[in-house]
Chain A
């Protein structure tokens, strides 16, 4: 048995409780009564993966079905991977401690481009062929993926049997039901995949082939075995009634987000033009305050967490935010639970709301201003004006705050040096504002932290056509920003531009990139999202070995009429809308949010005229 083998070496590694299961809330079933086994794999360490809400939802959802068993699996850290390889311990699931290679489904959630090599490493550790084409004809070991990155799954196409597009709450069970039925009738892997491709939201990459023009762009996509020409993502229609777990697996070791989390809304009305999440999770749907409150109580009661966080892309866009917060603050205060409220936007803070929030919130203020000048903020449709930022800061400073965090992006479309200097100017004006306020916090200095990310063009956004700045351009802008800051009260931190470039390549890549992902992993790349493991030189070597020019994907403007690697996938938003929005961006004209005015993104056309109440 694997357990003995694991335990023999467990005390040799860091944080062993990550590798042995047994946490409160983990679900153990009698294997003799199970028809379909699903290994839910997160391609990063336990500490990160256990913080992921989607996994918690789907884990509980699948396990509600008596004859299905979903278990968890994470990427082992370097020390434990060495132990596993040395002692022939295959990658196993944490509930049964059985090897995942014996499971029916091996499902990965793809949250981030820089976790791709971890998928290959985990499949290899599991003893599962990394290439889908090399897996047995027998039905079993179906390797699937979902999550935001699969909106362009092509750079992963060779490694997966199928992708699940959109929300998984319904389609996962449909897929498992089909599998269960076909397994009993003795079907092959291929037969199953052909049938699965008929389920809405399921994309089977082996049934699609790409042809290319001489200039490297795509000339066409062919389908076979009756697979649909366009695969549409799945959405949950009645979001207020959608399944939500009343219990989480509560880890022993501290994880990144170690708290109960409750989803308050899905989708976003804002339409910031760089933001993939703002488009791929449309339409906007919300839960009622009663549902949110009920889910909070159930979760806190069952897990014993003394902290709960509201999860959404923009919590303050909830149409009943006041009622919701009042109810939640009453409950959490009584039960001595900390309520954490991320994703609150600057532009609709009222003094009244801020007062409520201040009762529960101890951290500083964070604004995602994204652009340094109003012109650039109009380009990206980040409808936050300087006046609003200043107003919110004023209220906050008068209320005792002295630290402000500002998020910006660098390398945005149409950006000039003036916009970069604008970042420093904006921060300086906030410093000045602080000292102009009579009743500012006494004896305290103001601290402005600026965090600057490099813009990454992403599929299914109006900026999907845009080139990314080259390294030289980014370095110039970074230096300019540093030179423009005159005070120590403003601190600047950057993201590594090489990381952002790799993100862009993988986000916008096509199927030819699969061999580069494979080569990079073979060259020793894994945990690419961890600074200490990121090896850009190994990636560049991999691209060269495979004859791939990374700038073709990252630094080239994609034409409006070019066939994009993700054009055969339908995320409810039309390409025409993205083209229209891209043009509007270049004119520095904003688009109203969905509540103000429908901009015809395509959701209503596809759902039959209804977007949100």
Chain B
């Protein structure tokens, strides 16, 4: 049995596929591909596959991770990739298929490219800087036991900000994985509340899934 890890992108119209729907969609992709995917051996056998992280509805991604097992050890990684790509829906594409190297628990962060549409990008940039200079960024995070106030400041990394004509492009890193997950929308809500420059979110794209040392998770 071959344990493999696919990296795929989810863009354009595919960003409207919710995580729950993506699960069902993936099952059908596997069935259409005819790949010898490994089934669980319990009372109700079903194809085994797992997404490393959930992606919010409306977010694009260039780096989603999907693990599954192929029962045919002879099958090449390229063949698996190509057969899946033949039956993928519009906007979704497998970039690579490789053997699973690291454990899912090693995922620590995710990187996002955020594009904010605004009349005055320079002023919005100043708002971002002011927010990051503050001692804490408190947000209300929904948990199983109601809401909880969390300071996301220490774990929020702004990698880069670029100003262009009508938008501010931010590259940021946030905790992700089995322990803590911060959605970039939490930061953006704080920015909206604390800042003075109005903006609308044009696009959010996950561009990297990283380990604690900022290396790509593979």
Interchain Cβ contacts under 8 Å between A and B, 15 examples = A10-B16, A11-B57, A11-B58, A20-B13, A21-B13, A22-B12, A22-B89, A23-B89, A24-B28, A252-B89, A253-B21, A303-B32, A304-B27, A304-B32, A306-B31
A305–B13 contact, CB under 8 A?
no
Q: Measured between alpha carbons, how far is A58 from B17 in the docked complex, in Å?
A: 26
Confirm or deny: A17 has a beta carbon within 8 angstroms of a beta carbon on chain B: yes
8 Å CB contact of B16 from A17, A303, A306:
A17
Q: A-contacting residues of B (Cβ < 8 Å)?
A: 12-14, 16-18, 21-22, 24-25, 27-32, 34, 39, 45, 57-58, 87, 89-91
- Within 301-322 of A, Cβ neighbours of B (below 8 Å) are at 301-306
Given A10-B16, A336-B45, CB of A252 within 8 Å of CB of B31: no
A1 to B27, CA, bound (A): 34
| Chain B residue nearest in CB terms to A304 | B28
Neighbour of A304 across the interface among B13, B30, B90, CB < 8 A: B30
Q: Which A residues from 259 to 305 make CB contacts under 8 A with B?
A: 300-305
A22's contact among B30, B31, B32, B91, by CB below 8 Å, is which?
B91
Least distance between B55 CB and chain A CB atoms (Å): 13
Contact in complex: B87, A304 (CB < 8 Å): yes
Determine if A16 is an interface residue (Cβ-Cβ < 8 Å). Answer: yes
Residues of B within 8 A of A302 (CB): 32
Provide the bound-state CA to CA distance between A336 and B21, in Å.
21
Please report the C-alpha to C-alpha distance between residue A305 and residue B90 in the assembled complex, in whole angstroms: 18
Interface residue? A225 (CB, 8 A):
no
Instruction: Say yes or no: is A250 at the interface (Cβ < 8 Å to chain B).
Output: yes
As a 0/1 sequence over residues 205 to 226 of chain A, the CB contacts with chain B under 8 angstroms (1 = contact) are 0000000000000000000000
A64 on the B face (CB < 8 A): no
Given contacts A252-B21, A304-B29, A304-B31, A20 and B16 within 8 Å (CB-CB): yes
Q: Which residue of A lies closest to B59 (CB)?
A: A11
Residue numbers in A under 8 Å from B58 (CB-CB): 10-11, 16
Q: Bound complex: CA of A518 vs CA of B31, how far in Å? A: 47
B119 to chain A, nearest CB (A): 16
Measured as residues with beta carbon below 8 angstroms from the partner, the interface class of chain A is 20 to 34
For residue B16, which residues in chain A have a CB less than 8 angstroms away from its CB? Answer: 10, 16-17, 20, 252
What is the predominant secondary structure among interface residues of chain B facing chain A?
Answer: helix
Residues on B with beta carbons closer than 8 Å to the beta carbon of A21: 13
- Please report the C-alpha to C-alpha distance between residue A24 and residue B86 in the assembled complex, in whole angstroms: 11
Q: For the complex formed, measure the closest distance between the CB of B30 and the CB atoms of chain A, giving whole angstroms.
A: 7
Across-interface contacts of A138 in B (CB, < 8 A): none
A254: contacting residue among B24, B30, B91, CB under 8 A: B24
10 shortest A-B CB distances, which residue pairs?
Answer: A304-B28, A22-B13, A304-B31, A304-B32, A17-B16, A11-B58, A252-B21, A22-B90, A24-B89, A16-B16
The chain B residue with its CB closest to the CB of A16 is B16
Bitwise, A9-31 to B at CB < 8 A (1) or not (0) is 01100011100111110000000
Report whether A17 and B91 are in contact in the complex, using a CB–CB cutoff of 8 Å.
no
Smallest CB separation, B218 vs chain A (Å): 28
| Nearest neighbor of A258 in chain B, beta-carbon distance | B24
Interface residues of A in 16-64 (CB under 8 A from B): 16-17, 20-24
Chain B residues whose C-beta falls within 8 Å of the C-beta of A301 in the assembled complex: 32, 34
Give complex CA distance A10, B14 in Å: 13
Q: Shortest CB–CB separation between residue A362 and chain B, in angstroms?
A: 11
B31 near A254 with CB under 8 A, answer: no
User: When chains A and B are docked, how far (Å) is the Cα of A252 from the Cα of B19?
Assistant: 10
Do B14 and A22 touch (CB < 8 A)? yes
| Interface residues as binary, A225-259 with B (CB distance below 8 Å gives 1, 0 otherwise) | 00000000000000000000000001011100000
Cβ A250 vs Cβ B13 within 8 A = no
Interfacial chain B residues near A254, Cβ < 8 Å: 21, 24
Bound CA span A20–B21, Å: 15
Does A252 contact B91, Cβ atoms closer than 8 Å?
Answer: no
A554 to B32, CA, bound (A): 50
- Measured in the bound complex, the distance between the Cα atoms of B67 and A558 in whole Å is 66
Closest-CB distance, A307 to chain B (whole angstroms):
11
Q: Are B21 and A305 in contact (CB under 8 A)?
A: no
Cα A23 to Cα B16 with chains together (Å)? 11
Closest to A301 in B: B32
User: How far is A303 from B21 in the complex, measured between Cα atoms in Å?
Assistant: 15
CA separation between A22 and B31, bound complex, in Å?
Answer: 19
Given contacts A17-B17, A24-B87, A304-B29, 10 further A-B contacts (CB under 8 A): A11-B57, A22-B89, A22-B90, A252-B22, A254-B24, A301-B34, A304-B32, A304-B87, A305-B28, A306-B27
Chain A residues lying within 8 Å of B21, measured Cβ to Cβ, are 17, 252-254
Most B-side CB within 10 Å, residue of A15, A17, A21, A302: A17
B86 CB to closest chain A CB (Å) equals 11
Given contacts A17-B16, A22-B14, A24-B87, contact A250 B28 (CB under 8 A): yes
Query: Which residues does chain B contribute within 8 Å of A16, judged by CB atoms?
Result: 16, 57-58
Across the interface, which residues of A come within 8 angstroms of B39, CB to CB? 336
B172 to chain A, nearest CB (A): 20
CA distance A301 to B34 in the complex (A): 8
A96 and B33 CA atoms in complex are apart in Å by 27
CB-CB under 8 A from A10, the residues of chain B are 16, 58
Per the bound structure, the CA–CA distance linking A21 and B12 in Å amounts to 11
Partner of A17, one of B18, B28, B31, B34: B18
Instruction: Provide the residues of chain B in CB contact with A306, threshold 8 Å.
Output: 27-28, 31
CA distance in complex: A252, B25 (Å)? 6
In the complex, A393→B42 CA distance in Å? 31
Chain A residue at minimal CB-CB distance from B90: A22
Q: Which residue of B lies closest to A23 (CB)?
A: B89
Give Cα A11–Cα B13 distance, bound, in whole angstroms: 12
- The interface residues of chain B lying within 8 Å CB-to-CB of A23 are 89
Which B residues touch A250, using CB under 8 A?
Answer: 28
Measured between beta carbons, the chain B residues less than 8 angstroms from A17 are 16-18, 21
Bound Cα distance from A10 to B203, whole angstroms:
13
Please, which residue of chain A has its CB at the minimum distance from the CB of B32? A304
Of all chain B residues, which has the CB nearest A28? B90
Which residues on B sit within 8 Å (CB–CB) of A303?
28, 32
Residue of B nearest to A251 (CB): B21
Complex CA gap A278/B65 in Å reads 52
Please name all residues of chain B whose beta carbon is closer than 8 Å to the beta carbon of A300 when the two chains form the complex.
31
Q: Return A234 CB to nearest CB of chain B, in Å.
A: 35
- List A contacts of B24 (CB < 8 A): 252, 254
| Residues of the A chain whose Cβ atoms lie less than 8 Å from the Cβ of B28 | 24, 250, 303-306
Q: Could you say which residues of chain B place their CB within 8 Å of the CB of A305?
A: 28, 31
Q: Tell me the bound Cα distance from A22 to B10 in angstroms.
A: 13
Q: Which residue of A lies closest to B56 (CB)?
A: A11
A residues in contact with B89, CB < 8 Å: 22-24, 252
In the complex, what distance in Å separates the CA atom of A461 from the CA atom of B22?
45
A21 to B89 alpha-carbon distance, docked (Å): 11
Chain A residues in 8 Å Cβ range of B34? 301
Name the residue on A nearest B22 (C-beta).
A252
* A394 CB to nearest chain B CB (Å): 29
Measured between alpha carbons, how far is A23 from B89 in the docked complex, in Å? Answer: 6
